[in-house]
Amino acid sequence: MDLGLASKRIIVTGGSRGIGLSIAESCAKEGARVAICGRSQASLDAAAATLAAYGGEVVAHSCDVGDPEDLAAFLERARQDLGGLDGLVNNPSAFGHQDDEESWRSNLDVDLLGVVRATRFAADAIEEDSGGAIVNISSISGIGASGNIAYGAAKAAVIHATQSYARKLAAKRIRVNAIAPGSIEFPGGLWDQRRREEPEKYQSTLAVIPFGRMGHPEEIGKVAAFLLSDVASWITGQTITVDGGQNL
């Protein structure tokens, strides 16, 4: 299916690896012009090379999404490089999994306030007459209570913000949706690390997934590309769970 993303200008924060890179890749495959950010220059360079192979324009800049000034500078630079903005994906996470001050602060700064700040920017940058879309990456940890209290609370707030901004921005024809991934495994990621270092935790999580496997980043990327596209033109304020039945 042609999603109609050709030449669309899309920013993906936290797009240098894992889910973020797969989202950017799904968009690039559809012909979109993509801007990504991350904190590791080596990962950014590798991601940019991957995306450039699809023949479209790729913009990659380092950015700490938890730093308001750094994020604002990246978003404006990306908008100028792309010549405008049609879509935004808020993907990064601090992955603070402890119930301590540092985890709460980092998750709120990155997972929640990073979404809020970037959404405010997109609300002004996306042209009202053409409309656009915002996709926020939450988690199934944000849908119900989990052991990751600070992380789950921040992701739950992302779902609430998604619904609120969807209502607020509908008049500008900007759709706002969220994706709640389950456990996603990729080289160097959290579940790859746990498979090697915490095999009992890995296996206990695997055991509650009806599909019998961890998810793949591209399974999130394809859903994000769909939500960014006009094929999803009547979908807003929704949270799409992509978890192989893990949260049933």
Active site positions, annotated: 151
Give CA–CA dist 208/183, Å, rounded.
11
